[in-house]
Chain A
Amino acid sequence: MLDQSYYDKVDEIIEQYGRKESSLIPIMQDIQGEYRYLPGELLQYVAKEIGIREAKAFSVATFYENFSFEPKGKYVIKVCDGTACHVRKSTPVLEALYKELGLSKKKHTTEDMTFTVETVSCLGACGLAPTMMVNDEVHPAMTPEKAIALVKELRGDIV
């Protein structure tokens, strides 16, 4: 159960976009921006408030890779696996991160909720391949070593 503060926040977001069908995506984006994930209870609440069916809201939320019902870590690392990044060896970067953080294709977020590692299909920065994003920051020309060094830095380990 989420406490009342979540619903108050969502009310605020809903007011901003208006109670209409087309507000669904911006509202979900703001909720995810606020909490780093989209709590299912809040999606149900939004659907009811803006007058769309819950199954429809779930449909939209699951269609876009960007929305997550699982809480994400403080640092969300998106490793690009688009064609350009893939051929310039993004897979070893991803594997190095999985190994360093004890994650896998099935387990995206570390126990301490610090890191989430996921792949994206293209970041649109193919000239910088292989590319990776940490939250809103782009990291170009990655190697497994650079990726691990970055993780250590973010974790506060002495580099």
Chain B
Amino acid sequence: MGTMTIDGKRVTFTDEKNVLSVIRNAGIDLPTLCYHSELSTFGACRLCNVEDDRGKTFASCSEEPRDGMVIYTNTLRLMKYRRTIVELLLAAHCTDCSTCDKCGDCSLQRLARRLGLRKVRFENTKERQPLDYSSPSIVRDPNKCILCGDCVRMCAEVQGIGAIDFAFRGTEAVVTPSFMRKLSQTDCVNCGQCRVVCPTAAITIRDNTEEVWEAIADKNTRVVAQVAPAVRVAIGDAFGLPKGANAMDATVAILHRLGFDEVYDTAFSADLTVMEESKEFLERLESGENLPLLTSCCPAWVKLVSERYPEFKDNISTCRSPQGMFSAVLKEYYRDEANAQGKKTVVVSVMPCTAKKMEAKRPNSFTKGEQDTDVVITTTELSKMIKESGLAFDKIEPESADMPFGIASGAGVIFGVTGGVTEAVIRRLMPDHKKDTLKMVSELGARGEDEIKEFSVDYKGRTLNICVASGLATAQKVMDKVKSGEAHYDLIEIMACYRGCVMGGGQPVNAGPRTKQARQEGLYNADNTTIIKKSDENPMIQDVYDGILKGKEHELLHNECFV
């Protein structure tokens, strides 16, 4: 608590962790390229430099606020510094802006424009490096790296993976996997969080939109889309919708207009997941085997467990993810010639997630030798497709999902936020859907911002201990405790991305704290306004169990193993 003078104006501060936050809270948008409030402070970019009353300059991100400080943020000297910093960054940068994947979303580009940089006086003497296309999820372009280290810290601190780091030094410094390997040769889990914080196009999403356009253009192909819950509260970002607004109906309409023959909501197969996973949970509770049950919806988490905690491999739920279940069911449906009507079916899933691209290619994502999900595109890629088409998102007339798989419960929708799977499973286990029951379930502890959420619930006289966490560094803390015997749970839900899929690696970038919250609220609101709250009460679910799934539940909805 104290006051400081910023550009001649007195400002009070409370518990801000650095001078930068005080400045920003005071309404001055001091630029940064290496500062993220959820990562450790790095102090590398020097763009947040400010000057004090004695003419000393310092990086405001790395300075604690002190009472009585007098600082200036826009002196001529600072303005020259900032311009020079950006100019030097651009001098060592591949500036093919107009054909760059990040054009329009690039922090460096935006900054150069904002600071009025018109000319770079220095020649780029850096040797051109090859791009790394080895990952199915992300592409690394070292020529566009500005060495801010955001990806390095995200990967190590929030995800606890550490697949990439700085190497060499000075003018030779690069960000790379160890021994200059390719990403696919590391233990990268494909979460894409590095790409979320990358200010430039040094790390981008692997683009699969061309395959979708080609499928749409083929008259003999039926193109079917499934749209994940978290997409609906982020797709509007690029089209001026309020943050977190539920744009599912508009998205369905847009996809139809883009040429998709059928559009479904992945929340439907999330309902299937709830049915299968709660059944599996009860069986394991009965037999006492392979507890705690680990959720299997998140492919990055599943990869982490298989590689770092192989002794818990049998604890992973055998359920396919909602993406996997839906695609398997769709493909099975169109294996029947009466439904197929001579057309080939291509399933495109629209996901908030880069790891889903990897999941779709996993050997256990095939049924009868056929890849279930043909193409996975992220929310960001769909935004690009919509922009390319010229369709006005805000003028489209909303539409509902198609039949026969068009109904989803609210429980399926909240899969997109951390704790949602657990809440949906507990709802399923409850005997009724009374308001009080649902309220009790929502207040058990699955919701909220805590890093690790632990709570218990009574089920037929037995206490079930549950843990919900998101972010893979946190997940590893949980698993280490389980491994050492310090913690005992019956069910552990992990989503690799902190806050859940709403903040997935494929979502639109530059989301601030308010956007993050709005996306979570957006999904809870969608649940609130859905009449069917429990997966077992979704009428379509019973239909598919009695119909297409009869005798094939295991084949279509489960994995043999996660090797």
Interface residues of B in 176-217 (CB under 8 A from A): 176-179, 186
Give the shortest distance, in Å, between A9 (CB) and chain B (any CB): 21
Tell me whether B168 and A54 are in contact (CB under 8 A). Answer: no
Tell me whether B162 and A62 are in contact (CB under 8 A). Answer: no
B314 within 8 A of A: no
Tell me whether B179 and A58 are in contact (CB under 8 A). Answer: yes
A59 within 8 A of B: yes
Per-residue B-contact encoding for A52-77, CB less than 8 Å = 1, 0 else: 01111111001100000000000000
A40 within 8 A of B: yes
Contacts of B168 in A (CB 8 A): 62-63
Tell me whether B167 and A62 are in contact (CB under 8 A). Answer: yes
B521 within 8 A of A: no
Residue of A54, A57, A62 most packed against chain B (CB within 10 A):
A62
Tell me whether B179 and A56 are in contact (CB under 8 A). Answer: no
Docked complex Cα distance between A19 and B563 (Å): 30
Give the shortest distance, in Å, between A56 (CB) and chain B (any CB): 5
Residue of A40, A53, A55, A56 most packed against chain B (CB within 10 A):
A55
Per-residue B-contact encoding for A34-64, CB less than 8 Å = 1, 0 else: 0000001000100000000111111100110
Given contacts A40-B179, A58-B178, A58-B179, contact A53 B165 (CB under 8 A): yes
Tell me whether A62 and B177 are in contact (CB under 8 A). Answer: no
Give the shortest distance, in Å, between A1 (CB) and chain B (any CB): 16
Contacts of B176 in A (CB 8 A): 55
Contacts of A58 in B (CB 8 A): 165, 167, 178-179
- The chain A residue sitting closest to B170, CB to CB, is A63
Per-residue B-contact encoding for A4-46, CB less than 8 Å = 1, 0 else: 0000000000000000000000000000000000001000100
Contacts of B166 in A (CB 8 A): 59, 63
Tell me whether A55 and B169 are in contact (CB under 8 A). Answer: no
Docked complex Cα distance between A59 and B178 (Å): 8
Contacts of A56 in B (CB 8 A): 156, 162, 165
Contacts of A59 in B (CB 8 A): 165-167
Interface residues of B in 149-184 (CB under 8 A from A): 156, 161-169, 176-179
Give the shortest distance, in Å, between B303 (CB) and chain A (any CB): 16
Give the shortest distance, in Å, between A96 (CB) and chain B (any CB): 27
Contacts of B161 in A (CB 8 A): 53
Contacts of A55 in B (CB 8 A): 162-165, 167, 176-178, 186
Give the shortest distance, in Å, between A38 (CB) and chain B (any CB): 12
Docked complex Cα distance between A55 and B152 (Å): 10
Tell me whether A53 and B167 are in contact (CB under 8 A). Answer: no
- The chain B residue sitting closest to A58, CB to CB, is B178
Docked complex Cα distance between A44 and B177 (Å): 12
Docked complex Cα distance between A62 and B179 (Å): 10
Give the shortest distance, in Å, between B271 (CB) and chain A (any CB): 39
Contacts of B163 in A (CB 8 A): 53, 55
Give the shortest distance, in Å, between B180 (CB) and chain A (any CB): 9
Give the shortest distance, in Å, between B188 (CB) and chain A (any CB): 10
Docked complex Cα distance between A57 and B176 (Å): 12
Docked complex Cα distance between A58 and B173 (Å): 12
- The chain B residue sitting closest to A61, CB to CB, is B167
Residue of B161, B163, B179 most packed against chain A (CB within 10 A):
B179
Give the shortest distance, in Å, between A70 (CB) and chain B (any CB): 13
Tell me whether B169 and A53 are in contact (CB under 8 A). Answer: no
Give the shortest distance, in Å, between A152 (CB) and chain B (any CB): 34
Q: Say which residue of B156, B169, B178, B186 sits within 8 Å of A57 (CB atoms).
A: B178
Contacts of A54 in B (CB 8 A): 162, 178-179
Give the shortest distance, in Å, between B135 (CB) and chain A (any CB): 15
Give the shortest distance, in Å, between B443 (CB) and chain A (any CB): 39
Give the shortest distance, in Å, between A31 (CB) and chain B (any CB): 16
Q: Say which residue of A44, A53, A63 sits within 8 Å of B156 (CB atoms).
A: A53
Contacts of A63 in B (CB 8 A): 166-169
Contacts of B169 in A (CB 8 A): 62-63
Give the shortest distance, in Å, between B386 (CB) and chain A (any CB): 37
Contacts of B177 in A (CB 8 A): 55
Give the shortest distance, in Å, between A101 (CB) and chain B (any CB): 25
Give the shortest distance, in Å, between A2 (CB) and chain B (any CB): 15
- The chain B residue sitting closest to A64, CB to CB, is B169
Residue of B163, B164, B165, B168 most packed against chain A (CB within 10 A):
B165
Docked complex Cα distance between A53 and B188 (Å): 12
Per-residue A-contact encoding for B51-67, CB less than 8 Å = 1, 0 else: 00000000000000000
Give the shortest distance, in Å, between A118 (CB) and chain B (any CB): 15
Contacts of A40 in B (CB 8 A): 179
Give the shortest distance, in Å, between B466 (CB) and chain A (any CB): 29
Give the shortest distance, in Å, between A60 (CB) and chain B (any CB): 9
- The chain A residue sitting closest to B180, CB to CB, is A58
Contacts of A53 in B (CB 8 A): 156, 161-163, 165, 178
Give the shortest distance, in Å, between A108 (CB) and chain B (any CB): 16
Interface residues of B in 105-162 (CB under 8 A from A): 156, 161-162
- The chain B residue sitting closest to A65, CB to CB, is B169
Docked complex Cα distance between A54 and B162 (Å): 8
Give the shortest distance, in Å, between A47 (CB) and chain B (any CB): 8
Q: List 22 A-B contacts (CB under 8 A).
A: A53-B156, A53-B165, A53-B178, A54-B162, A54-B178, A54-B179, A55-B162, A55-B165, A55-B176, A55-B177, A55-B186, A56-B156, A56-B162, A56-B165, A57-B178, A58-B167, A59-B166, A59-B167, A62-B168, A63-B166, A63-B167, A63-B168
List 6 extra interface pairs beyond A54-B178, A55-B167, CB under 8 A: A53-B165, A53-B178, A55-B163, A55-B177, A57-B178, A58-B165
Q: Which 5 A-B pairs have the closest CB atoms?
A: A53-B162, A55-B165, A58-B178, A59-B165, A54-B178
